[in-house]
Structure 1
Amino acid sequence: MLKRIVTCLLSASTLCLGAASAEDACDQTCKSRLIDQYLHALVTSAPDEAPLAESYRATENQHEIAPGEGLWTSATGFGPMQRRFFDEATGNAAFYGLVYEADGPALLSLRLSFDGQDITESEAIIARDFEPLYNPVAAIKEAPDFTNPADLSGLTREMMTTTADKYFDGLRDNTGEGIPKVDGCKRIENGTRVTNRRPGSGDHADEVRSGDCTSGFENFTSIAEIAHRRYPVADTEAGVVMGVGLFQRPPGAVGRDGNPRKRNLIHEYFRTDAEGRITEIFAVMRYIEADEPNATGWE
């Protein structure tokens, strides 16, 4: 399993590249090499060196970008926390980790799609230091640990996506009842743990909760719907499913500052056990402005 969850430190001088097979078929080892090439091209501002298909399309924080824009101009390297996940059914891959920019580290969630040995789609959410709960130091500490992988035989894609969908339903319906999870499951948002915490423990938490990942849902009255839901990556060997969505607000919802409550564009990674129960969630999210699209960018 650990061969499929690769930690690779990338910089202009340190690479983990490999020559892809000449065949059109691309297995997970091949895709991992393509991801290496893609990330290296990002930090060297060299889109011509990335394995991009002619039909390549990319978004960052829901906005479409062309090769050479966005992270292509700002990324300078990748940090010590990196995780990769692969979906045999869809052929997609996901990257969750730290990216360095001139202004400091940012949290990056990236979904990639492939056609043979070409990357056809790139969907990124980037959380920077002005986003709520942003904490790159804590993100390293709280990163999912796959050192001692559990036996996940019997776990299916359907089990994982059903669990993730029930979680989103629970957020919408203000109830944690019926969500498959283990006691003490944790939730990490933009690097910060927001569950199983003591009051006053700090770490920039917006609200400190002493319960687990389904506690306090009755208080989440500012979520009307998780719209545009998708589950593009479900890695049954890692036990991780990636959920994509947009948190919609009910009419008139306001934040603590008295201003209209902003919508959340979010990538949530649900880690489950062999029975499809949530053990931890790590999310990368960005608040979007009122004049930004009511979409994830891939509808």
Structure 2
Amino acid sequence: MKASLRIASLAFWAASISPFSSATTIPLQQAQPALNCNRTCLETHLSTYLSALIAHDPTLLPTTPSVKYVENDQILPFTPSTGIWSLASTLGTYRHIFSDPSTGNVAAFTTILENGIGAIYIVRLKVDADGKLSEIETQITRDPTGAARYEKLGKPEDVWVQAVPIEERISRELLISQTNKYYSGLYEVGRWAADDECKDGRSVWAFK
């Protein structure tokens, strides 16, 4: 059960909760989710985004006038000369996508080449009710060795895409509460406690 919770919780986190833990994080409640934008629709937005990134042309994307762009915890102007948008040269082959149609969020762990050097790239997009990007959050980890390991892996491990039996599935509310404990734990590490079963929302679990 503990392993299942950890996997499902990480998947939900990547799809609908910001991967950053700073004051620059964009609240998810700012815009309504896209209407009639299912998993395929969200993943098309993601593919379009990555293609625009390599083309160094954010104008290829359907964005709201007030789109908020975050790169490595910094809110930045969304322009061709901003950060990774001027440096990304090639997309890698590894791509692990998380889609959450109920909130209009799609995220991915992937790899890129930045001026010819491998890096790990994480992105979360929020698609609003009009089908436009209202939030873009990214993190670039400039670790060529780590990026090479993802490339060697080729695709996400099978455990990430295996269906969890209905009787073992955990509620969305519990996934959210358990995921949020990671962030609160960053500030209150001493209050964390291991719980091997994690049977209810009051339990606190720690990585081992």
TM-score class, shorter-chain normalisation, is 0.5 to 0.7
**More strand by proportion, 1 or 2?**
1
Question: Displacement of 1:79 after TM fit?
Answer: 0.9
CA–CA distance in structure 1, aligned partners of residues 38 and 102 of structure 2: 12
8 A Cα contact 1:163 1:179, kept in partner? no
> Which residue in the other structure is 2:113 paired with?
100
Distance change (3 Å), C-alpha of 1:145 and 1:121: same
- Give 2:132's match in structure 1, choosing from 101, 118, 123: 118
Relative CO higher for 1 or 2, CA cutoff 8 Å, sep ≥ 6?
2
Give the conservation status (yes or no) of the 8 Å contact 1:97–1:107.
Answer: yes
How far the C-alpha of 1:62 sits from its partner, in A, is 1.5
- Partner of 2:158, secondary structure, is coil
| Among 10, 17, 26, the residue aligned to 2:37 | 26
Q: Which residue of 2 aligns with 1:220?
A: none
Aligned residues: 159
| Between structures 1 and 2, the one with greater helix share | 2
- Is there any run of 5+ residues in structure 1 with no aligned partner, and where? 1-22, 182-212, 216-299
Deviation at 1:43, TM superposition (A): 0.2
Give the AA of the match of 1:214. Answer: F
Please state how far the C-alpha of 1:55 moved relative to its aligned partner.
2.1
Tell which structure's C-alpha radius of gyration is larger. 1
- The one-letter code matched in structure 2 to 1:107 is I
Residue equivalent to 1:67? 79
Determine the structure 2 residue equivalent to 1:47: 58
Work out whether residues 95 and 109 of structure 1, in 8 Å CA contact, stay in contact via their aligned partners in 2.
Answer: yes
- 1:276-287, aligned counterparts within 5 Å? none
Give 1:164's aligned residue: 179
Aligned to 1:146: 158
- In structure 1, how many angstroms separate the alpha carbons of the residues matched to 2:152 and 2:51? 25
* Conserved 8 A contact 1:167-1:179: no
- CA separation of 1:180/1:135 partners in 2, compared to 1, >3 Å: closer, same or farther? farther
Residue equivalent to 1:177: 194
Larger mean Cα displacement after TM superposition, 101-110 or 160-169 = 160-169
> 1:135 corresponds to which letter in structure 2?
G
Return the offset for 1:58.
0.5
Whether the aligned pair in 2 keeps the contact of 1:37 and 1:50 (CA below 8 Å) is yes
The equivalent residue for 1:155 is 170
Offset, 1:137: 2.2
Aligned-residue RMSD, C-alpha: 2.8
SS of the equivalent of 1:135 reads helix
Question: Taking every aligned residue pair, what percent have the same amino acid on both sides?
Answer: 26
Structure 2 Cα separation of the partners of residues 28 and 83 of structure 1: 14
Residue 110 of structure 1 contacts residue 123 of structure 1 at CA under 8 Å; is this kept in 2? yes
Structure 1 contact 170–176 (Cα < 8 Å) conserved: no
Pair 170,118 (structure 1): closer, same or farther in 2 beyond 3 Å: closer
